[in-house]
Amino acid sequence: MADLDDIRDGNDFGIGIPPANQSFYIKGHDHMGWGLKNRMANMFNKKSGNSVMLAFDHGFLMGPTSGLERIDLNILPLAPYVDVMMGCKGMLRSTLPPECETPIAVRADAGTTILTEMNNNVLMDVNEALAMNAQCMAIMLAIGCPSYEASTVRNLYTLVDKANPLGMPVMGITAVGKDMARDARYFGMAARVAAENGANIVKTYYAEGFEKVVAGCPVPVVIAGGKKLPEPNALELCYKAIQCGAVGVDMGRNIFQSEDPAAMAQAVAGVVHDGLTPAEGMEKFNDLKRK
């Protein structure tokens, strides 16, 4: 057992110092296999190095929540404006046209809903994701949850062991329990645990001090949008995260529940890829909304 008597918070993160000897443009992937790197390159823009992922996997927990009542009507029109579409296998198969050129990430764990205690999940088979031509498999981690931390870390570890030899990237999603503080110390630990156990991408939440979360994680970090925010606040969230070193967003409600989802997706892309400020992003949103 680890010695827990003298745990000291990290304080020397080398903020602003790029990874040493990096030749491939995606952090932490120089030594990965060609197939895995190719899938990562399909998700992350070659020019900016960043990604706008549209998450619409909420239905496996919540059912047809607002904005997701009809994926064919509400979500598919957004595909041209994002880099990755992230959903569950059943919805991807039943509603996403096979000629869609936007890469997909598939939610790879499921088992419980908001009607019960969540996180008691099972894993999707990697071969099924390969058959769907998925570029990534996404799986949740309940770090700090006494009931489900061990089982969700085991799920990640198991999935990585099966996915890595087949060239399939895995994204670790850090869930936030009701008793966990939403701060950089917690998110930094959760992100690092995900990466240490083999995640190729980490999805987590923004908090003050986020630059330490990113610096302490050896693989790309994207932020979750979380609950619906007013458009200016959501764009500011994106901007702050990118300024702290995040390489994109995996955003759902702040896009598909916007008053103009297509305009919002393009405004977010402007912040993530083109370096727009929140004010410039909001100007783009309003211009597109008027059109």
> Looking at the annotation, which residues are catalytic?
203
Tokens of residue 67, six digits: 């904005």
Please list the residues that pair with 171 across neighbouring strands: 138, 201
Which residue, chain included where needed, has tokens 């598909």?
Answer: 256
Dihedral angle of Cα 144, 149, 154, 160, to the nearest 10 degrees: -50
Please say whether the dihedral angle defined by the alpha carbons of residues 121, 124, 126 and 130, taken in this order, is positive or negative.
negative
Tell me how far apart the alpha carbons of residues 280 and 112 are, in angstroms, rounded to a whole number: 41
Residue 250: strand, helix, or coil: strand
CA distance 68 to 70: 5
Query: Which long-range contacts link 226-231 to residues 24+ away (Cβ below 8 Å)?
Result: 226/253, 226/254, 227/253, 228/253, 228/254, 228/257, 229/254, 231/258, 231/259, 231/264, 231/267, 231/282, 231/285
Q: Which of 274, 202, 276 is nearest to 235 (CA)?
A: 276
What tokens does 167 get? 């060239």
CA dihedral defined by 277, 252, 145, 111, rounded to 10 degrees?
-160
Instruction: Please report, to the nearest 10 degrees, the dihedral formed by the alpha carbons of residues 71, 102, 53, 254 taken in order.
Output: -40
